[in-house]
Amino acid sequence: MHALRNLSAAALLALTAGCASGLNSVQESELAAYRANHLDVQEKSPGLAAGLGLLPGGGSFYGRAYGWGVVNLLLWPVSILWDPVSGYDAAESINYQASKAHVASLKRRDMDRLDSKLSSNEIDLKAYTLEKRKVEDMYY
């Protein structure tokens, strides 16, 4: 009976933890565009995260989901059914957030430079508008 209860709890966790919130389709497209334009930041390796998911709680700990890491540590070796996927998703999510922040920083830097040029009369309003459009297109 105890083993059945543990197995049921593990199955329930597998269903919920295995569905860890990865990126939605819009975020995946955005990250792909960042990567295509060499604007992405890779804080975590998704491949390493998936590989570490085979170790007790490894994928979750690497993906900064420490609570799930403890749960997966306690449920190891059953947790190898979902922790590699959760670790991969967590690494992708971390990389997406870091890339989004990096792109926002680059855009802010370029817009600040452009604003400075306008305020110091290095460019006129027409040139400012054209350059602003270029910056916005460059960074989406």
pLDDT digit string, tens, across residues 10-65: 455 444 444 456 899 999 999 999 999 999 999 999 999 999 999 999 999 999 99
Nearest-5° angle of CA 7, CA 20, CA 25? 145
Instruction: Report whether pLDDT(124) > 70.
Output: yes
Structure-token match 């590699």, residue found = 84
Q: What is the mean pLDDT of residues 76-90?
A: 95
Residue 5 has a pLDDT of 54
pLDDT for residue 139: 87
| Range 62-92 burial, b when 16+ CB lie within 10 A, else e | bbebeebbebbbebeebbbbbbbbbbbbbbb
Give residue 106's pLDDT band: very low, low, confident or very high (50, 70, 90): very high
pLDDT at 2: 54
Residue 17 CB neighbours (<10 A): 21
Share of the chain above pLDDT 70, in %: 85
